[in-house]
Structure 1
Amino acid sequence: MNTQLPVRLSLLPLLLSLLGAGAAQAQSTAAPKGPAPVVAPADAAARGGSAEREIRAQLTPRRYTTVAAEIGAKISRLPVTEGSAFKAGQLLVSFDCTLQQAQLAKAKAELEGAEQSLKTNERLVELNAGGQLEVELARSARGKARAEVGANQAVLSKCNVSAPFAGRVTEQKVREQQYVQPGQALLDIIDDSVLELEFLVPSRWLVWLKAGGPLQVQIDETQKTYPARFTRIGARVDPVSQSVKVAAAIDGRFPELIAGMSGRVIVPNATNN
């Protein structure tokens, strides 16, 4: 009797199951793939294709400077304070120049004496009672006296500091009755009649960006949007960032705007750029 027959029969279901699994796998592999899932396009703003380009910028005055003392003297008057407005040519600082006035008076007296001496020597030459050398020395002394008068008048003109332009005081660095040295800072002043914005834009914008073009700026402090126009375009492109510096000016006068405020610059023409 063959004892291996029951063993072979018992292995038959296992072989059939293995053959069936292999066929199913082959059928699955050969089946064509279904259509790819439809992916909704990203939002235009997420792709960077929005119709407006926003850039951060800060309001700055067109002109600003630090007024400094040109002489060493005591401040006698300081009619402007921080935040106050002034007109072009208005007095900003006045110094006590009593000493300088005395020096000018002395120089004028010496000039008058030199002129009288020159006249006397010229008269003596006409009368053959004097020499030409005395005349030349007297003329030289008169020239020296005139130079002294001019120098003292120049110093005295520095006793009053006038505004070089209309604007406002941003910082007062000294007080009345304070003695200051030549070159010491007195006031920081700005011309806030025109407020500007300076910022960087991509250099590829140069194909359409022109001076006079419109833009808008939304100021954080006021939560309002203001019109502006490009005023200057930089002369050099930064080779690393591929950007160029531009400047714009607020188009109009808005009393609530002051230098130092910041916001978002919106450039309408920056579509797909």
Structure 2
Amino acid sequence: MNTKTMVDDATLIHPTKHANHFRPVNTSLNGLRRSDKRSAIRQKFIAGLICALSCLAVPAFAQDGNTQVRFLVLANRESPLSSVVPGRMAKINVQLGDSVTQNKVLATMDCSDLVARKNAAEAEYHAAQLRYEAKAKLQGLQSAAALEVGLAASEVNRTKGQMGIFDAQLAQCKFISPFNGRVAKIYVKEGQGIGAGAPVIDLVGSGTLRARLNVPSNWVAWLKIGSQLNASVGETGKQYPLTVTNISGKVDAVSQTIEIETRFPEKTDDVLPGMSGQAVAICPPDENRCLKSGAANS
């Protein structure tokens, strides 16, 4: 008796050991292994993610056709002050938003243990000096060897170096403003214990503000230091001229953009670091490459 195989659209019928019994084999998607299903789902997710990122990388266009670029306002200088040694906060001399001058003491830590250790080191230093002076006099009387005098001198240098270490550690107990600016954030309170490396105070400089942008890479053909942009800050609703000060040396291969930095005019008291907005480049006269890239005409 010949073995027959029955075939339909969704199922194959294969013979088993007995010719009159058939075992169905499902060939649809439900028959795939779980690992194959996960792989297919993963590939679809990655393809969707790449598509979404590609959409985000496309610059926005205003109704007039000009390319609008998002920017972030930055302070001219920033300094996150942190603790170098562990201890307890003894005094905080500033409040949030205060204007500070360079070399102002912003906060101090309770370093009484370091003071005590420094005092002990000073006592050892003075004692070492006395021993050295005595050995030197004895050497003049032929009562002390040169080796003893040399050892006494090295002890003086050792204790003096120990004092320098404590002086350096005590200097870290004071948080001093490195420039003129404003207090952006205070992380600690008086009496709070902090560890080494813990943030204490964030400072922002009071100089001319900056703006950082990622502009389309085709702007490189005409963009240069000194180029002008027209910026609109969302928080204030006002427009400000921006001047290009720095251009990155590398184009981002994924988004096809290049990072630049610009500066605001000097008198922009209503703009604060952290604000954001949109900017449009202003084309120089007779610069066709700029107009083709979607920038505004001057």
TM range (shorter): 0.7 to 0.9
2:97 to 77, 83, 95: 83
Answer whether contact 1:70 1:183 (CA < 8 A) is retained.
yes
Structure 1 equivalent of residue 124 of structure 2: 110
Query: Which whole-Å CA distance do the structure 2 matches of 1:242 and 1:100 have between them?
Result: 54
Query: Which whole-Å CA distance do the structure 1 matches of 2:149 and 2:184 have between them?
Result: 57
Query: Which whole-Å CA distance do the structure 2 matches of 1:96 and 1:118 have between them?
Result: 35
Instruction: Return the offset for 1:205.
Output: 1.6
- Quick one: which amino acid aligns to residue 242 of structure 2? A
Structure 1 equivalent of residue 190 of structure 2: 176
Shift in alpha-carbon separation, 1:241–1:181, aligned structure 2, 3 A: closer
Shift in alpha-carbon separation, 1:132–1:112, aligned structure 2, 3 A: same
Shift in alpha-carbon separation, 1:48–1:258, aligned structure 2, 3 A: closer
Query: Which whole-Å CA distance do the structure 2 matches of 1:166 and 1:97 have between them?
Result: 27
Query: Which whole-Å CA distance do the structure 2 matches of 1:49 and 1:272 have between them?
Result: 16
- Quick one: which amino acid aligns to residue 153 of structure 1? D
Query: Which whole-Å CA distance do the structure 2 matches of 1:126 and 1:192 have between them?
Result: 63
Instruction: Return the offset for 1:112.
Output: 0.9
Answer whether contact 2:247 2:259 (CA < 8 A) is retained.
yes
Q: Say which is worse superposed, 110-119 or 133-142, in terms of deviation.
A: 133-142
Structure 2 equivalent of residue 271 of structure 1: 291
Answer whether contact 1:172 1:188 (CA < 8 A) is retained.
yes
Structure 2 equivalent of residue 217 of structure 1: 231
* Secondary structure class of the residue paired with 1:82: coil
- Quick one: which amino acid aligns to residue 209 of structure 1? L
2:241 to 222, 227, 240: 227
For the pair 1:236 / 2:256, whether they are aligned, the reply is: no
For the pair 1:100 / 2:114, whether they are aligned, the reply is: yes
Instruction: Return the offset for 1:172.
Output: 0.9
Instruction: Return the offset for 1:48.
Output: 8.6
Instruction: Return the offset for 1:150.
Output: 0.9
TM-score normalised per structure 2: 0.71
* Secondary structure class of the residue paired with 2:191: coil
Query: Which whole-Å CA distance do the structure 2 matches of 1:247 and 1:135 have between them?
Result: 63
* Secondary structure class of the residue paired with 1:271: helix
Query: Which whole-Å CA distance do the structure 2 matches of 1:128 and 1:117 have between them?
Result: 16
* Secondary structure class of the residue paired with 1:193: coil
Structure with the greater alpha carbon radius of gyration: 1
Query: Which whole-Å CA distance do the structure 2 matches of 1:53 and 1:239 have between them?
Result: 19
Unaligned segments of structure 1, at least 5 residues: 1-46
Query: Which whole-Å CA distance do the structure 2 matches of 1:140 and 1:97 have between them?
Result: 29
- Quick one: which amino acid aligns to residue 216 of structure 1? N
Higher relative contact order (CA 8 A, sep 6+): 1
Query: Which whole-Å CA distance do the structure 1 matches of 2:266 and 2:156 have between them?
Result: 58
